[in-house]
Amino acid sequence: MLTRVRGWRRGWQERSKLERIDLYSRLTVAAIPWLFTLTWQLAPLTADIHHAPLPLALGLALLVVCLAQCALSNRNARPSYEHYCGISVFPRQRMIAPLALLLVALGLLATLAAVDGVDGDGLLLMAMNIPMALVMTQALLVPVRTFLVQSLGLAALTTGVLAAAGVRGGILAGAAPATLFGCVLVLISVRPSTWSLSVMWQAEEARDVQARLAVAEERLRFGRDMHDVLGRNLAVIALKSELAVELAQRGRPQAVDQMVEVQRIARASQQEVRDVVRGYREADLSTELAGAKGVLRAAGIECAVVGDSGAELAAPVQAALGWVVREAATNVLRHGDPRRCTIRLTASADEVVLDVENDGASATATATTGDCGSGDHGSGGSGSGLTGLRERLGSLDGSLDAGTAGDGLFRLTARIPLSRPDAGRKPGAAPWTASGAVSGTDAGGVSRTASASASASASADVRGTAGTAGAETRTAFLEERR
């Protein structure tokens, strides 16, 4: 016995707070009909029923019927609760037995009144208890208005049965109010308790869904960051490896320099992956602009960065535009046969606009992105790179358009609104000149340029080996420049 008690205690302690409340509420609902029967049915049996054989036999029979009603009420408690919560449908055939027992109990009560075997007060208590077990289930199966109408019908039925048994006067007049009181008491005790329990479980389920969505969102964010970080690095490594092969086949010593650069980029990629895993990495717009310019020029593509420097923008805006620059530079490297690329940043009081335009757009790009769709530059389909950029810009109410602009040009435009003139700006930033250098004195210019050169380490859009022909063209062009 002691072991069983300890097991119950351990089981209670292992439950969550909501599970404890659920168990407590269910046990309370299950105990209510038994409590009413033991008070409103057993008390008259000892005090108000006349101690004669027939009245005592009728009273004991009525008590047994009421106890059977309580057992059926407990049996129907879980299905009725699940019906109320919309989990399952209550099988209506389960109400046949409780209804039959109710009619039997009313018949026994009428017989007891007909033989004058009970006093008036005891008769009203038993009349109030008889429907309790049945209505505890019914209160959860039908709407409140329907339940009240059914309670009125039950009160009328009880009054009619007692009137047929010869009950008159104040006792008969009190039968209907007593029955209605019992029904309403069940309604205000059982239904609110069940409603509160269902609301708590719904809130718990909502928290579980919210937690799962947060995990899924974090997975998407991490995957998007990994894509953005490794995309351009792998593209540059592939480009420089092809150049090193060409130089090695011609016996040129510059092949060693290219492979050293590949090694450096690979090591930088490792560090950036570690930073992403730690969650500390964020894009810097000035660094990304300088890095994109350096990488594109190393590939033989003339690149100009014009307009504002972006240093006056808020950190979230700079970070989002930095990712756009990475993705755009990666697409320029991977697709088509570009010779020139222009990156233009324009910041006004209302919005900041970043335009990346390059020539040499392929026929595939013209066919697939002419409607400024979501496809990657010349990829012939929607790419995860541009999709990730739209998600980043969307968090700032920004937008992204990508498509051909005629005459073999491809243009990518990112817009981010600034709600206030000072919302996304910081004073004291110098504009970029047409050559891409920052005017004025910039104490961190050297280190930023060096960091930008190393930022060949990051971006988006690795999609197989497409664009090899464009890479070979850029390699030949770079050879001519050397």
What would the mean pLDDT of 178-205 be, rounded to a whole number?
Answer: 87
- What pLDDT does 373 receive? 37
450 φ/ψ angles, rounded to the nearest 5 degrees: -65, -40
pLDDT above 80 for 421: no
- What pLDDT does 458 receive? 33
Burial of 477 (0-12, 13-18, 19+ CB in 10 A): middle
Q: What is the mean pLDDT of the chain?
A: 77
- What pLDDT does 333 receive? 80
**Structure pTM?**
0.47
Q: Higher-confidence residue: 447 or 5?
A: 5
End-to-end alpha-carbon separation of the chain, Å?
93
At 341-396, the pLDDT tens digits run: 999 999 888 889 999 999 887 644 443 343 333 344 433 333 457 787 888 888 88
What would the mean pLDDT of 463-467 be, rounded to a whole number?
Answer: 33
DSSP strand pairing (399-406 vs 340-347): unpaired
Distance separating alpha carbons of residues 167 and 113, to the nearest angstrom: 7
Distance separating alpha carbons of residues 346 and 293, to the nearest angstrom: 17
What would the mean pLDDT of 252-280 be, rounded to a whole number?
Answer: 81
For residues 135 and 182, the answer to whether their CB atoms sit within 8 Å is yes
The single-letter DSSP state of residue 302 is E
406-416 burial, b for 16+ CB within 10 Å, e for fewer? eebbbbbbbbb
At 128-166, the pLDDT tens digits run: 889 988 898 999 999 999 999 999 999 999 999 999 988
**CA dihedral of residues 71, 74, 75, 80 (deg, nearest 10):** 140
Within 10 angstroms of residue 82's Cβ, the number of other Cβ atoms is 15
Q: Higher-confidence residue: 12 or 177?
A: 177
At 63-121, the pLDDT tens digits run: 999 999 999 999 998 899 888 888 889 998 999 999 999 999 999 999 988 988 888 88
- DSSP result, 341-366: EEEEEEE-SSEEEEEEEES---HHHH
Cα separation values, 83 from 79, 86, 87, 138, 194, Å = 6, 5, 6, 11, 11
Burial of 200 (0-12, 13-18, 19+ CB in 10 A): middle
- DSSP result, 46-78: HHTB-SSHHHHHHHHHHHHHHHHHHHHHHHHHH
Q: Show the DSSP H helices in 40-167 as ranges.
A: 42-47, 53-84, 96-114, 120-129, 132-138, 144-164
